[in-house]
Amino acid sequence: MIVLRRAKEDDLAIIIDLAERIWPQTYSAYLSEEQLSYMLNLMYNRGELLSQLQKGYTFLIATDTEEDKDVGFAGFSNVDSENHIYKLHKLYVLPETHGKGVGKILINEVKDLIIREGGKVLQLNVNRNNRAKDFYMKAGFKIKETVDIEIGNGFLMNDYVMELAL
């Protein structure tokens, strides 16, 4: 059974560990080792995650209770209070758990929490080469635009911005 919990500061090490285990398997087919390492260090250092928590981001951790193992996480925040727009910043599950519904449980909980907070729109960015795009489309997201985002060190994120009306 998959159980979700809201992450606290003490859980940041779990999120970092999961990202370090998931990202190489997810992105190595189309990101260089240098870009992958740069992005992990940029986005998943303790200071950055702590700053996000302090700014009001919500992080959820998925635990497989049968294996007593953390298997995924999600992170989201309100990015436009006036228009009730939220952004899903992170949603990752261990590759060996793909197809077991963990991602669906996470995305549904994110949507439910955002709706309870009065959210009207959920946006996300996904790499154009990432098969997760299909997962998001099945969940009702539509591609809003294609973007290339400079992240420093000469690296770009080649993403789709996807959106879901709640």
Residue that is written with structure tokens 């928590």 in the block: 53
Domains recognised in the chain with CATH numbers: 2-165 (3.40.630.30)
Q: Is 115 helix (H, G, I), strand (E, B) or coil?
A: helix
pLDDT tens-place string over residues 36-64: 999 999 999 999 999 999 999 999 999 99
Q: What is the pLDDT of residues 74-112, one digit of tens each?
A: 999 999 999 999 999 999 999 999 999 999 999 999 999
What is the C-alpha to C-alpha distance for residues 141 and 152, in angstroms, rounded to an integer? 28
Round the average pLDDT of the chain to a whole number and report it: 97
pLDDT, one tens digit per residue, over 10-32 is 999 999 999 999 999 999 999 99
What does the alpha-carbon distance between residue 13 and residue 4 come to, in Å, rounded to a whole number? Answer: 17
Q: How far apart are CA 104 and CA 7, in angstroms?
A: 18
